[in-house]
Amino acid sequence: MKILVTGAAGYIGSHTALELLRAGHEVAGFDNLCNSSEKAVERVRELSGKPLRFEKIDLLDRPGLDRLFKEGFDAVLHFAGLKAVGESVEKPELYRRNNIEGSKNLLAAMAAAGCRRLVFSSSCTVYGEVKKNPVDESHPRAAVNPYGETKLAVEDMCLALSQTDPRWRTALLRYFNPVGAHESGRIGEDPKGVPNNLMPFVMQTAVGRRPKVRVWGKDYPTPDGTGVRDYIHVVDLALGHLAALERLDALKGAEAINLGAGRGYSVLEVIAAASKAVGRPIPYEICPRRAGDAAAIWADPTLAKVKLGWSASRDLAAMCGDHWRWQKDNPQGFA
Ligand code: NAD
Ligand code: WQD
């Protein structure tokens, strides 16, 4: 298939573009590079040995999108968006405009071009305060921050579109906590500034960029008192997108599907596994809880198995080993 990847220079977009090329698809990508480097795209070309057309375009640039869609695509994988929860609280309008208006623009350009196959990067954040684990797709949705609001809004837009025009086929993939990197160590996550997420912070500590990991809370009702999350290897996640593309035509309109490993690890378990991968203890200190954090959340990944024939296969040791190879070989990321 001929696939367009939005946010192709980003963490998940670059890993997915690589797997698409390896599977024999023709891929073009765009990104406005607000949170990424074009070097990621160059490295995807190098790893795949295949051409990957890339343009610097913004989701909000409708003429730019229309020009791109003249090429004719069979499907779009839509990763482009802003994703920092804290920043979304400080700048809700920026998030609404970029993520909601940007996606609206993309959907309109797709409709105008007659391209109606879409895979959208949704998030477990749409489950809001989780009532029971594991979380399946029927769990009520709620936004607990402006970032979450944007994911709900785009999911709703996709649902409405497929109700008004039944030719649309959309997978709303709700990712849990993506970590890890390609096993080559050539592409990986390169957060700008101080990382908010656990794994990049742990690995930047291991490489000497941060003095120690701050563990946000040890008084949660979890086995060791620290927060529990469903970490998923980014290559498993990328392969989940391939599976979604292949099964898209069998979906009913727009369908939400969890992409998680289906088990939870605590913060201390992650630090221990990362220390093992690195070969020495990673320093940490216990700090007060971070506002807005849940005690525990992990996915019920059954629907992904049933609908997409996909399940995650890489364990926490692989997530830490691969993330560490990327961090060690690229201590300053793509800089
Ligand atoms: P990322 O920041 O590495 O990638 C997103 C890319 O989109 C970046 O390269 C950025 O430059 C680009 N972008 C942002 N706004 C744009 C715009 N207006 N026009 C063009 N490009 C734009 O993030 P990621 O981790 O790869 O996330 C990809 C998607 O998955 C996002 O939509 C994110 O919300 C979603 N998601 C991520 C996680 C996670 O923890 N990483 C979890 C669930 C969902
Ligand atoms: C994981 C655990 C922290 C950093 C976020 C978004 C969510 C989704 C995935 C996009 C928690 C603890 C963290 C640190 C710590 N993204 N922690 N010290 O909060 O589960 O989810 O990313 O859609 O929407 O909210 O991920 O990696 O920040 O935290 O102790 O320095 O690690 O308290 O228990 P989170 P995270």
- Span 114-142, pLDDT tens digits: 999 999 999 999 999 999 999 999 999 99
Could you tell me the pLDDT band of residue 198, with boundaries at 50, 70 and 90? Answer: very high
Please, are residues 21 and 44 in contact by the beta-carbon 8 Å criterion? yes
For residue 257, the model assigns a pLDDT of: 98
102 C-alpha to center of ligand 2: Å? 25
| Section 273-278 average pLDDT | 98
For residue 277, the model assigns a pLDDT of: 98
Q: Distance between CA atoms of 158 and 103, rounded to whole angstroms?
A: 10
- The CATH code of the domain at 2-179+231-260 is 3.40.50.720
For residue 241, the model assigns a pLDDT of: 98
Q: What is the pLDDT of residues 199-214, one digit of tens each?
A: 999 999 999 999 999 9
- Burial class of residue 288, CB neighbours in 10 A (0-12, 13-18, 19+): exposed
- Residue 74 phi, psi dihedral angles, 5° rounding: -80, -30
Q: What is the pLDDT of residues 101-114, one digit of tens each?
A: 999 999 999 999 99
Could you tell me the pLDDT band of residue 309, with boundaries at 50, 70 and 90? Answer: very high
Q: Enter the tokens of residue 142.
A: 């709620």
How many percent of the chain have pLDDT more than 90? Answer: 99
Q: Enter the tokens of residue 64.
A: 């730019």
Nearest CA to ligand 1 atom 30: 121
Please, are residues 155 and 120 in contact by the beta-carbon 8 Å criterion? yes
For residue 154, the model assigns a pLDDT of: 98
SS3 216: strand
For residue 88, the model assigns a pLDDT of: 96
Closest ligand 2 atom number to CA of residue 201: 31
For 280, what's the count of Cα atoms within 13 Å in the CB-facing half-sphere? 6
237 C-alpha to center of ligand 2: Å? 17
103 lines ligand 2 (CB under 6 A): no
324 C-alpha to center of ligand 1: Å? 21
For residue 8, the model assigns a pLDDT of: 98
Please, are residues 330 and 185 in contact by the beta-carbon 8 Å criterion? yes
Q: Distance between CA atoms of 169 and 160, rounded to whole angstroms?
A: 12
Q: Enter the tokens of residue 14.
A: 């670059």
* Residues assigned a catalytic role: 147
